[in-house]
Structure 1
Amino acid sequence: MRRVTRVLIFHIATAADWAAARSSGSYTTSTRGRTLDEEGFIHAARAEQWRGVHARYYAQASEPLLLLEIDTDRLTSRVVQEPATAGGDELFPHIYGPVEPSAVLRAVPLEEALGATSFSALFLREVMRNAMLGMMVLLLAALGAVLLDDALGGWGVLVGALAGAGAGVLVILALSRRVART
């Protein structure tokens, strides 16, 4: 058994289980139809493994599913790489305790995650989204600098840029909280 240090791991969850976890503050579903108490740990997968887990255990699921992207650095429970079955060679991350919703970076509808051609496509989409948000902050900073330049004189550019950038950061935080609630 090897201890895992900061990585992203993935877990397939029902939308109902994830909604309940966000309400209670603790996700405790180990795998489809089994709880953490019953199994002893929560099953997870690395980026290259979650599609196989879906195909083996969730392909026939009729309820809405989500792919949870979990930052192991944010977990209070320990994560251990272990074989999925006794005598198995392939190691999977097992979470020995509940998952705090704050450790989940994203909850992506599974259809969307499966529609991405690869983990790289999901990563690239996230990078592009963050780049667009960064550009929005820069544009708001520039707009603030232009608007306050005449009004405040020499300090107007600096004050306006800081105010615009601050407004952009507040917009991003508000959007992040809104997305986290959905």
Structure 2
Amino acid sequence: MATIFHIALASEWAAAREAGVYTTSTLGRSLAEEGFIHASRADQWTGVRDRFYADVSEPLVLLQVDTDLLDVPVVDEPPAPGVEETFPHIYGRLPVTAVVRAIPLSPGAPAAAPEPAAPARPAAQSGPAAGGDSFSKVFLLEMYFNAAVASVAILLSALGIAIGVAIGGDRAPGIGGLVGLAVGVLVAVRVYRRRHPRVA
């Protein structure tokens, strides 16, 4: 999963949630006018907020977008001719189902990485990147989390086998292992979903 960010007016995000899609490109510009939706990586959104949203008094939200959930291209490119830094641009409408978290930002305040609401996420993991973690750190934290969740499923399966052996019989270990694995998978899915909630 790749995570990118977009700063939105809270009112426009609320309207998008009603419509099912978000179509604002940037402050005061629509997707139809611009041709794409401006986005940022975790290390870029605070600079964008300071530069373009410092005078905005209306409430803002930081949209955390999972690019794997998009059905349109995301292209890294300079925002203007002569600019060397590239930014992710979303070439199409942003479905609200691709926004895994909407973090409220205080209007008019200096940009500081917000504290993500629990449960956190990658880019925020235990709260993804609330905007300042490097990609490597986020990736490693997510990898360790996934390995820990898988280990829980394996341990519960092994526990089921052990109980089956203690009960005795030819089929008890196999049945115990399957029951343990089923319980482990259910626990793993629940833990994963709590860590990675979908914002509708």
- Using structure 1 for the length normalisation, give the TM-score: 0.69
Q: Note the C-alpha offset of 1:43.
A: 0.9
Tell me the alpha carbon deviations over residues 55-82 of structure 1, each in whole angstroms, 9 at most, x when there is no partner.
43346667353351422x5422122333
Letter in 1 for 2:198: A
| Identical amino acids, percent of aligned pairs | 44
SS at match of 1:11: strand
Contact 1:140 1:164 in 2 (8 A): yes
1:42 match = 37
Residue 147 of structure 2, aligned match among 96, 110, 131: 131
Contact 1:9 1:45 in 2 (8 A): no
Change beyond 3 A, Cα 1:164–1:64 = farther
Contact 1:15 1:64 in 2 (8 A): yes
Q: Note the C-alpha offset of 1:41.
A: 0.9
- 1:56 equivalenced with 2:74 (yes/no): no
Unaligned runs of 5+ in 1: 1-6
Matched ranges for 1:2-41 at <5 A: 8-14=2-8, 16=10, 21=16, 24-41=19-36
1:111 match = 114
Residue 154 of structure 1, aligned match among 167, 170, 177: 170
SS at match of 1:93: strand
Q: Note the C-alpha offset of 1:85.
A: 1.6
SS at match of 1:124: helix
> What is the root-mean-square deviation in Å for CA atoms of aligned residues?
3.4
Letter in 2 for 1:147: I
Counterpart CA distance in 2 for 1:25 and 1:67 is 14
Structure with greater helix share of residues: 1
Unaligned runs of 5+ in 2: 104-112, 116-128
- 1:84 equivalenced with 2:79 (yes/no): yes
Tell me the alpha carbon deviations over residues 9-41 of structure 1, each in whole angstroms, 9 at most, x when there is no partner.
512244945565455432323234543234321
Letter in 2 for 1:122: V
Give the aligned length: 174
Residue 144 of structure 1, aligned match among 160, 177, 182: 160
Contact 1:9 1:44 in 2 (8 A): no
Change beyond 3 A, Cα 1:61–1:157 = farther
- Using structure 2 for the length normalisation, give the TM-score: 0.65
Change beyond 3 A, Cα 1:46–1:173 = same
2:66 match = 70
2:186 match = 170
Change beyond 3 A, Cα 1:118–1:89 = closer
